């Protein structure tokens, strides 16, 4: 069977390894474009969140490339993600698309269901092959995240626009082609060496900005209008706070064994929000406070229109922003958002942060200027 899955940043690389490793043919959907979104928007309910619409577009495009089944994660908690698989299945049925949907529910939902679903997916291979596949998949998840993290630092200093992205794409290709753990490690080493070799302008006045919010819009560049690349080109070191490998570790592995996840981090959210609200809502509040403590110049909070957990966080961030005196820009995206509008807001925010930083530098030298208390979040 030919299996596809939703596009989500670089996750297609480990997903491909996982599907092929358990004996299926992986159909990677074409990269997300306006056409993908238009397809999804045509068939999804209007009030559905943006990721669901893009996912539907991914499936329809993958089906045109021969996909026969879909691998999708399930979920628990107050947000709509737990219903995604079922809703998507019904949407596809309604429009007469015959794709088998295999939903892997998280183990917290019940170990027996989780094991049954995994056994069904891995029925063609031996236990040894399953172990090898999981090891290779995990290595690729961490390799992709490692390379992306390095690119976010390098891009802010690159002397020639686009050099960092070229290195990143080439390194990711090497990770994608790697068929052993050793090859994955070698691909990461090659990538890190190439990032070091990128010509840099070390005199550039750079800013550090934390990016927080809903996981899909953080990880999928099409959904966030290539926010990280754009900020890097503006001389910003982006510190994205959500990574796929960390999400797997905390939300699937540690949670399944009832281990406390991110205890120290989540304590920072306590004065504002004391419980899980679904998705990454709680983490968004905690990460904003944590980034402010480490001296970040600003925070960008990104969420899809109607995203319930992030709307909760959005309503709290003005208070966090005031308490920690850190500027926060909120970007709400949906199918009506336009790249030019988002990029203009990013440029204005970066200008504001530069002015803010210079004002503080002057203030610390005794020159009278506006006080930090005048800062406020920018919605
Ligand atoms: S986290 Fe937000 S965008 Fe994602 S499924 Fe839940 S409500 Fe939708």
251 CB under 6 A from ligand 1?
Answer: no
Angle between helices 50-64 and 34-43 (to 10 degrees): 110
The fold for domain 2-124 equals Rossmann fold (3.40.50)
206-374 maps to which CATH number? 3.40.50.11900
Mean pLDDT of 41-53: 95
163 CB under 6 A from ligand 1?
Answer: no
- Which of 80, 280, 306, 334 to mutate to test ligand 1, by most ligand atoms within 8 A of the CB atom? 80
pTM of the full structure: 0.92
304 CB under 6 A from ligand 1?
Answer: yes
pLDDT, tens only, 109-151: 778 888 888 888 899 999 999 999 999 999 999 999 999 999 9
pLDDT, tens only, 290-336: 999 999 999 999 999 999 999 999 999 999 999 999 999 999 999 99
What pLDDT, on the 0 to 100 scale, is given for residue 80? 87
Q: Identical fold at 2-124 and 206-374?
A: yes
Q: Where are the domains of the chain?
A: 2-124, 206-374
Q: What whole-number distance in Å separates Cα of residue 259 and Cα of residue 67?
A: 37
Residue nearest to atom 1 of ligand 1 (CA): 279
Band (pLDDT 50/70/90 cuts) for residue 373 is: very low
- The rounded Å distance from CA 303 to ligand 1 centre is 9
pLDDT, tens only, 233-245: 999 999 999 999 9
Quick one: what percent of the chain has pLDDT higher than 70?
A: 95
pLDDT, tens only, 3-39: 999 999 999 999 999 999 999 999 999 999 999 999 9
Contact status, residue 88 vs residue 101, Cβ threshold 8 Å: yes
pLDDT, tens only, 213-268: 999 999 999 999 999 999 999 999 999 999 999 988 887 777 777 666 678 888 99
pLDDT, tens only, 90-116: 999 999 998 999 988 888 777 888 888
When mean pLDDT is compared across 10-19, 267-276, 367-376, the lowest value belongs to: 367-376
81 CB under 6 A from ligand 1?
Answer: yes
pLDDT surpasses 90 at 377: no
Q: What whole-number distance in Å separates Cα of residue 93 and Cα of residue 136?
A: 34
pLDDT surpasses 80 at 370: no
pLDDT surpasses 80 at 362: no
- The rounded Å distance from CA 149 to ligand 1 centre is 24
307 CB under 6 A from ligand 1?
Answer: yes
């Amino acid at each position: 069977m030919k299996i596809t899955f939703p596009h989500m940043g670089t996750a297609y690389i480990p997903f491909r390894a996982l599907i092929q490793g358990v004996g299926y043919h992986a159909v990677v959907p074409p990269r997300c474009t306006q056409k993908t979104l238009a397809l999804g928007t045509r068939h999804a309910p209007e009030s559905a969140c943006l990721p669901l619409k893009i996912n539907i577009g991914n499936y329809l495009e993958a089906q045109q490339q021969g996909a026969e089944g879909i691998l999708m994660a399930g979920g628990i908690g107050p947000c709509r993600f737990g219903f995604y698989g079922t809703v998507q299945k019904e949407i596809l049925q309604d429009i007469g698309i015959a794709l088998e949907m295999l939903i892997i529910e998280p183990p917290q939902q019940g170990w027996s269901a989780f094991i049954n679903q995994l056994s069904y997916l891995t029925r063609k291979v031996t236990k040894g092959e399953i172990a090898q596949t999981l090891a290779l998949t995990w290595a690729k998840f961490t390799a992709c995240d490692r390379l992306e993290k390095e690119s976010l630092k390098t891009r802010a200093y690159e002397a020639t626009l686009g050099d960092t992205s070229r290195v990143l794409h080439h390194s990711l290709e090497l990770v994608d082609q790697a068929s052993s753990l050793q090859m994955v490690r070698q691909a990461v080493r090659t990538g890190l060496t190439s990032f070091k070799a990128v010509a840099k302008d070390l005199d550039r006045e750079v800013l550090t900005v934390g990016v927080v919010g809903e996981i899909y819009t953080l990880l999928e560049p099409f959904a966030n209008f290539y926010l990280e690349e754009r900020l890097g080109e503006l001389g910003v070191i982006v510190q994205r706070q959500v990574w796929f490998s960390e999400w797997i570790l905390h939300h699937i592995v540690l949670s399944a064994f009832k281990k406390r996840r991110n205890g120290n981090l989540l304590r920072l959210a306590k004065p504002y929000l004391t419980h899980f609200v679904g998705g990454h809502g709680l983490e968004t509040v905690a990460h904003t406070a944590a980034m402010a403590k480490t001296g970040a110049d600003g925070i960008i909070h990104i969420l899809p229109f109607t995203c319930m957990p992030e709307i909760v966080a959005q309503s709290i961030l003005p208070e966090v922003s005031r308490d920690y005196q850190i500027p926060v820009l909120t970007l709400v995206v949906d199918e009506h958002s336009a790249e030019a509008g988002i990029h203009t807001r990013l440029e204005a925010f970066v200008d504001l942060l530069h002015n803010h930083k210079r004002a503080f530098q002057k203030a610390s030298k005794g020159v009278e200027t506006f006080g930090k208390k005048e800062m406020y979040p920018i919605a």
